[in-house]
Amino acid sequence: MLIYIAKRIVYTLPIMLGVTLVCFALVHLAPGDPLIAVLPPDASEQMKQQLMVLYGFDRPYHEQFLRWIWRAVQGDLGGSIATNRPVATEVFKAVGNTLMLSAVATFIGFALGTFFGFVAGYFRDTVIDKSASFLSVVGVSVPHYWLGMVLVIIFSATLGWLPATGAGPGGSDAWAWDWAHVRHIVLPAITMSVIPMGIIARTVRALVAEILSQEFIAGLRAKGLSEFGVFKHVVKNTAPTALAVMGIQLGYLLGGSILIETVFSWPGTGGLLNAAIFQRDLPLLQGTILVLAMFFVILNLIVDVVQTLLDPRIQRS
């Protein structure tokens, strides 16, 4: 097992290097002047050249890339051009908020998706199956931002039950585990959980239906095994694939939550990326994308290891 984990870590290293290279290249190939956020309209060419030297934009791309990687390994992602604050401080604070929101949304989506998937799989080709499948299709098809606005109109503007914006009272971006703050995460988490719920439900439904149709299930029942015992075998065979899908969905939510965070004014990486793109803040944009990409790679590594623990056949293959 330890050898398998070591191999997976070694395989992950070139992926990380490739991710950093792609991140650096895409950001620098984008059109626009990276110093537009700090240069006044009447800035002289001399001032522009001084700032280029200060931020290292006067160096060749390969030197900029190596310097950026070396500093990033040491935890230094540079300074924001627009705010002049350390990128690492802003990014990790925003990533923490996004990670918490994505984890809550993934938990809700995984719980409901697994439930609907098992129900549909056990009662396949019935009204229950069709109803659960219909809900999963609707969940995958409904646009995030539209659902978010609808929930805000119903539960915030009309009923007044839940707040619509911010991560805390008064639009605060500081988080605490109390009801005043938890209320702010309910609507965005439910909105983000709809698509993962639909994907997981469809995946689990297909797995359960396939497993129940196999011969070993009929053999277990013929030997007198209880339905609960059969259910445990179904869960054991479904878990690795369902876990992999959940890991992918969590990674997707980490990087694809910009619209939800904009609708609910959630202080996460979505708002940070939005500001960095419009302000052409290259250090902030690079740092945010890099941290999110590393989270996704590490998350997939963890899912691979957990899958192997659940199903040792993966290791042997």
pTM above 0.85, yes or no: no
Q: Where would I find the H helices in the chain?
A: 2-29, 45-55, 61-73, 87-122, 127-141, 144-151, 179-212, 215-222, 227-255, 258-263, 269-279, 282-310, 313-316
pLDDT in tens, 198-222: 888 888 888 888 888 878 877 877 8
* Closest C-alpha to 262, from 188, 175, 190, 169: 188
Domain span at 211: 93-270
Q: To the nearest 10°, the Cα dihedral for 216, 219, 224, 227?
A: 40
Please give the pLDDT value at position 31. Answer: 62
Please give the pLDDT value at position 261. Answer: 82
Would 246 be classed as within a structural domain? yes
- 188 and 148 Cβ atoms separated by less than 8 Å: yes
- 106 and 193 Cβ atoms separated by less than 8 Å: yes
Would 297 be classed as within a structural domain? no
* Closest C-alpha to 244, from 176, 167, 181, 300: 300
Would 44 be classed as within a structural domain? no
What residues contact 155, with CB distance under 8 A and at least 6 apart?
161, 162, 187
Please give the pLDDT value at position 222. Answer: 80
* Closest C-alpha to 117, from 104, 105, 103, 129: 129
Could you give the CA distance from residue 193 to residue 107 in angstroms, rounded to a whole number? Answer: 8
Which tokens is 179 given?
A: 């009801």
- 275 and 128 Cβ atoms separated by less than 8 Å: no
Please give the pLDDT value at position 37. Answer: 55
Would 236 be classed as within a structural domain? yes
Low-confidence ranges of the chain (pLDDT < 50): none
φ, ψ dihedrals at 86, nearest 5°: -60, 130
Would 177 be classed as within a structural domain? yes
Would 31 be classed as within a structural domain? no
Structurally, the chain folds into a number of domains equal to: 1
Would 36 be classed as within a structural domain? no
Please give the pLDDT value at position 41. Answer: 64
Would 79 be classed as within a structural domain? no
CATH of the domain at 167: 1.10.3720.10
pLDDT in tens, 7-65: 777 877 888 888 788 777 766 666 666 666 556 666 677 777 777 777 677 777 778 78
What residues contact 297, with CB distance under 8 A and at least 6 apart?
12, 15, 16, 19
Please give the pLDDT value at position 55. Answer: 67
